[in-house]
Structure 1
Amino acid sequence: MFKRIASTRLRVVAAAAALTVAAFATAAEFNGSHPDSYVVRKGDTLWDISAKFLKKPWLWPEIWQANPQIKNPHLIYPGDVISLAYLNRVAVQPGPRDEAPVNAINLSDIEPFLKDLSIADSYEGLPYVVSIEEDHLRGSAGRLVYVRNLAGAQPGQRYSVVRPSLRYTQTRLASNAKYLGYTEDLDWRGKRLKGDTVDWDRQWTSAALMEGPMELLGYELSKVSTGTVTRTGGDVTSVLLDDEYRDVRPGDRLVPVQAQPYDLQFFPHAPRSQPPVGKLQIAAVADGMLYGGNHDVVAISGGSREGIDNGTVFSVWRNGSLAVDRVKHGDFHDDVIGRGGRVQLPDEYASHVMVFRTFEKVSYALVMEGSRPTRVGYTLKHPDAVE
């Protein structure tokens, strides 16, 4: 009996010691100026709340889940009181439950990119619109479109009408082992734009073209409309459009509608594996020429193949330049000064981003916060990187 009691006490003491260590580790992540408590407000996000009292706001899941009284940090509601005073432990005093719980991020910032964009390795083999009802050039809700290669379709099945809008590529130059990527806008048929041709329906903008052997990362498919199969038979399938989003053109492609193709809750975490240095870059910025700021959406030149999943957090860095040493080389033209006459400047931190939708070779991420704009071509590193 004595041995059993001693053993039990030993386990209790060990558990208490482990809890003390956990509390110390948790306290080490708090800002010194954090308040004693915080009342959750409508419009808050878990990231923004954590940024008020954590040195690393992307670590909030690990810290909050260390507290057993918080069953699910995603079930924190406006009106809840977050207490930080007792041993620097996070605790939640429930408030009213008459509003939706707060999320890690504001879903309205990314909703169009969750619902309307996807990445595919190719699009040429997808079924396509060959004509519009009554030989119209474009079709909208209420009109029939006629589709080829929609084998096996049955009346009542739902499809999304999509249009290739962007082509992602990347190369690794043998001369300096650097990764370089670029994007190209596509016309309404999915063909690469040439010369001064511009498709004003494009959603993303192009980065600078780089020469070298390219790896195709994928094609961005933008949703144009949705429709329901009404008639099948022969080589042509009739689909009735029911979405006013954008006009449908001959050449647009069809993919099956997915009931829930994306996550609605996100747990920020560090990358689960480290890809080759420089491999991950900002490939594009939504609705901007080259730069993006807080709450802008960016595309990353990596996906599940590189171990990225939804919630992965990266820090974004401006690549340090090779500056000419003018003190040493005077007014010589830059072109005649080799690498030996240049100084490698350090990388500079720009922002943190969190991935919210992942494909095999490309991911979409949201700029969470930063000290300077996020630019196409900037490199991604571990969220705690110091250089």
Structure 2
Amino acid sequence: MTAFTSVRRTALGALTIIAGALLVAPAQAQNFPISGGQRATAQQVSERGIPLSELAPNAPDSYTVKRGDTLWGISGMYLLRPYRWPELWGMNLQSIANPHLIFPGQTLYLDKTGGYARLTTSRPGMTETVRVSPRTRTESLSDNALPTLKPHLIEPFLVEPLVVDAQVLQQAPRIVATTEQRVLMASGDRAYVRGDAAAPLRAEAGEPRHYRVFRDAVALKDPVTGEVLGYEAQYLGKAELVRGESFEDTPNSKGGYTAEYVPATVDLTAAKEEIRAGDRLLPAPARVFTSYTPRAPQVDIDARVVSIYGGSAVAYAAQNQVVAINLGIQDGVEAGHVLNIVSNGERIKDSTDGGKAMIKLPSETNGTAMVFRTFDRVSYALILEIRNGVRVGDRMVNPQ
């Protein structure tokens, strides 16, 4: 809930950004983690701003935040290295206690006096008094606050790629048949599912009713050691449980009844690809809304690209595509970590040498990626910027 009351805004030094009379009730405010290091860096920067050398060459003198903007985009607009988010936050520290709560309509002014850059919502050197009539308005902060990245780029991958142990998918309930004995199924079709004997599907209170459909898990192998890091299951669609597994008494030839097994019934509510008998079901996780804080890792990262999401036929990943890397939670990788992509130098034949010697070209920084989903030994990263295509085996390291 936001409450707008009469307020006097003054320029509290060249750095200050006053966000207006926006008050966020504690129960409604988003509460995303901010590390002590990030807060300390922001506090230090807020005292005088950042050196002009750290500004992006075309940093605008003023900018009005628009719907559709992202925190990453605004960081890149003002800073040479967008992942240096604490510095951008430090430029806003006195008025934006939570950097995730930046809203469309705020105008930022850039002050570059004294060799340091600072931001303010009032033109530098001016004192502004704003009077508005008291009123109350209710709206969703999660809908208005700027996201770090454009949500449509990563939302599908928050549920699609699933890294599991070898036996998890093999023991999951499987589709055994469909109505009219169809071979292939799509959204809107009804299917029948058989669960594990030790954990049958039940349509009882407290049991899952919504499932995701997966197919064969593909081994994710470390490109350096060849070790299997996990198995990536292929996401196919969604299903809703209609009836659980049961037994039904049917007449037999001896004049009695025999209890016969009856599989569970599900309706396919969405299908990314055609679904068939043998595909597996796993409970759908609760939907969560996540804001990612772009930042450099606090630990040394030297990862390799394990796979390009989208199938084995994809040889190169481009901007806004997703790749898996060979480090995960146990290696200190966290959602929000920004990494430099380093392309391996190719081995070529030196045509200028009489002996046609083979030489290796140097590896080159090729772009930037941000981790957005982590598992124990594997993580998924979105490619934010790229010069040339990313291949399996390319490195991802701490940004410089």
The two structures have a TM-score, normalised by structure 2, of 0.69
Q: 1:269 to 1:21 in 2, by over 3 A?
A: closer
Partner AA of 1:164 in structure 2: R
Q: Which residue of 2 aligns with 1:5?
A: none
Choose which of 356, 378, 381 in structure 2 pairs with 1:365.
Answer: 381
Tell me how far apart the structure 2 counterparts of residues 92 and 252 of structure 1 sit (CA, whole Å): 55
Q: Which residue of 1 aligns with 2:370?
A: 354
Choose which of 197, 211, 221 in structure 2 pairs with 1:170.
Answer: 221
Q: Which residue of 1 aligns with 2:295?
A: 269
Tell me how far apart the structure 2 counterparts of residues 170 and 60 of structure 1 sit (CA, whole Å): 33
Q: Which residue of 1 aligns with 2:144?
A: 100
How far is the alpha carbon of 1:160 from its aligned partner? Answer: 1.7
CA-atom RMSD in angstroms: 3.2
Mapping of residues 280-359 of structure 1, within 5 Å: 280-281=304-305, 283-286=307-310, 289-327=314-352, 329-332=353-356, 342-359=358-375
Given the alignment of the two structures, is residue 48 of structure 1 paired with residue 73 of structure 2, yes or no?
yes
The superposition leaves residues 306-354 of structure 1 with CA deviations (integer Å, 9 ceiling, x where unpaired) of 2212111111111123444454x4144xxxx5xxxx5443211111001
Q: Which residue of 1 aligns with 2:173?
A: 127
Partner of 1:291: helix, strand, or coil? coil
CA contact (8 A) 2:220 2:232 kept: no
Q: 1:244 to 1:257 in 2, by over 3 A?
A: closer
CA contact (8 A) 1:269 1:311 kept: yes
Structure 2, gaps ≥5 residues long: 1-39, 123-129, 131-136, 248-260
CA contact (8 A) 2:309 2:322 kept: yes
Q: 1:111 to 1:171 in 2, by over 3 A?
A: closer
The superposition leaves residues 236-257 of structure 1 with CA deviations (integer Å, 9 ceiling, x where unpaired) of 5413214032443111111112
The two structures have a TM-score, normalised by structure 1, of 0.71
Given the alignment of the two structures, is residue 240 of structure 1 paired with residue 266 of structure 2, yes or no?
yes
CA contact (8 A) 1:118 1:220 kept: yes
Tell me how far apart the structure 2 counterparts of residues 26 and 249 of structure 1 sit (CA, whole Å): 60
CA contact (8 A) 1:130 1:251 kept: yes
Q: Which residue of 2 aligns with 1:136?
A: 182
Partner of 2:304: helix, strand, or coil? coil
Pairs aligned (count): 317
Choose which of 38, 44, 61 in structure 1 pairs with 2:63.
Answer: 38
Q: Which residue of 2 aligns with 1:257?
A: 284
Given the alignment of the two structures, is residue 374 of structure 1 paired with residue 398 of structure 2, yes or no?
no
Partner AA of 1:148 in structure 2: G
Tell me how far apart the structure 1 counterparts of residues 360 and 56 of structure 2 sit (CA, whole Å): 34
Given the alignment of the two structures, is residue 158 of structure 1 paired with residue 183 of structure 2, yes or no?
no
- Flag the structure with higher strand content: 2
Tell me how far apart the structure 2 counterparts of residues 166 and 256 of structure 1 sit (CA, whole Å): 16
Q: 1:170 to 1:248 in 2, by over 3 A?
A: closer
CA contact (8 A) 1:131 1:147 kept: no
CA contact (8 A) 2:201 2:244 kept: no
- Flag the structure with higher helix content: 1
Structure 1, gaps ≥5 residues long: 1-14, 173-178, 181-212
Partner of 1:57: helix, strand, or coil? coil
Q: 1:36 to 1:60 in 2, by over 3 A?
A: same
Partner of 2:341: helix, strand, or coil? strand
Choose which of 155, 159, 162 in structure 2 pairs with 1:118.
Answer: 162
Tell me how far apart the structure 2 counterparts of residues 165 and 106 of structure 1 sit (CA, whole Å): 30
Mapping of residues 213-228 of structure 1, within 5 Å: 213-228=226-241
The superposition leaves residues 204-234 of structure 1 with CA deviations (integer Å, 9 ceiling, x where unpaired) of xxxxxxxxx5424322330422111413325
